[in-house]
Amino acid sequence: MRVTDLTLTTFKWRSPQWRTGTNVFGKPVNLGIVTITTDEGLEGHSFLGSSRQGADEFTKQLIDYLKPIVVGADPTDTGALWEKMWKLRRNVTPRPIGSVDVALWDLAGKIANMPIFRMLGACRTQVPAYASSAYIETPEGYGEEVLKFKDMGWKAYKAHPHGVEKEDIEICKAMRKAVGDDYILMLDASWRYPYEAATRIGRAIEELGFYWYEDPLIEEDMTSYEKLREKLDIPIMATEYAPGGLYGMAPWVMHRATDILRGDVAICGGITPLIRLCHMADAFRMKCEIHHGGNSLLNAANLHVTMAVPNCEFYEVFPCSGANKYGLVEDIEVDSNGMVTIPEKPGLGYEIDWDLVEKDKVEVIK
């Protein structure tokens, strides 16, 4: 079987505007569908773009650099094709590489008539979800939202707070007060604290019994991460956007600069490097907590990797309002026990809403 074509279909993504402390999401963008077709009629799909950064920003990289690698190839050569794509990263960023890799895995699953997580080596079929917050104005607002998700049966809640030391500590106190001592809470600082403040905030949330402390410092500053990790008992989670992708993770492990590694198919460049990253972490008895994927089909790809590794504890739902879901007939849902179950269908196992795509189609780029 050979790949005969790779196209990008773009359609309008209308999403309400929302934000974290620093980033605004939900401006009108075009979401892209990467379609890989074969000489035997099977197709693989993935989405390209997020509600912050539409597919159009990646069109040239996709069509000029990645399409020539994939067309004519055996679509199940996912490892070899990923190596070729990754070597082009002077000209191509990880997101289009990730979307092509995910579409190839979707296709491989359809060829094998297996869900991707089973091809990768299934570890489980369910995972607990955590609610990952958007920006909320007041500490009480965060407290109310945690309580809402706890009452809905979700297992954990992570705040993206304001990025201001005193306000963030107040937010964390309000969250703990709202749900009591036993509920799992995390803080994601989105790289906004100077070292001294990061130390004080880390000690405060240790006392509040928080579960992990995510991205307190900028990721260029591995030295301060090493110092911070030595001072604090709470597990530190870093490397969400660490330079170098999979290959940039080795020094973080060797320097003991983080307790938990981080990755997803969009930022790492696909399922192929993400499963390798999780396995590397596992060899060091470290967790690799998988980040959200920025769109619904990449979230599904993340879910497949999550089910195929023993060392990712949670599935991230970001934002927990659901504003980042778009373009599928049925999206990933969290059940009343706070769990997400993966479908036992070939490939990614989620159906694109082609009626919606047809209605709001912008163009098909070949």
Interacting residues with Mg ion (CB under 5 A): 188, 240
- The smaller minimum CB distance to Mg ion, of residues 116 and 238, is found at 238
- The smaller minimum CB distance to Mg ion, of residues 36 and 312, is found at 312
Region of residue 97 (phi > 0: left; psi between -120 and 50: alpha; otherwise: beta): alpha
Q: Which residue is nearest to Mg ion (CB)?
A: 188
3-class DSSP state of 342:
coil
Q: To the nearest whole angstrom, how small is the minimum distance from the Cβ of residue 240 to Mg ion?
A: 5
Four-residue CA torsion sign, 139, 19, 191, 318? positive
- The smaller minimum CB distance to Mg ion, of residues 168 and 240, is found at 240
Nearest residue to 293 via CA among 33, 23, 48: 48
- The smaller minimum CB distance to Mg ion, of residues 170 and 240, is found at 240
Cα separation, 296 vs 357, whole angstroms: 14
Cα separation, 233 vs 199, whole angstroms: 11
Q: To the nearest whole angstrom, how small is the minimum distance from the Cβ of residue 72 to Mg ion?
A: 38
Nearest residue to 188 via CA among 105, 171, 196: 171
- The smaller minimum CB distance to Mg ion, of residues 92 and 189, is found at 189
- The smaller minimum CB distance to Mg ion, of residues 101 and 188, is found at 188
Q: To the nearest whole angstrom, how small is the minimum distance from the Cβ of residue 355 to Mg ion?
A: 34
Quickly list DSSP for 210-238.
-SEEE--S-TT-HHHHHHHHHH--SPEE-
3-class DSSP state of 177:
helix
Q: To the nearest whole angstrom, how small is the minimum distance from the Cβ of residue 269 to Mg ion?
A: 18
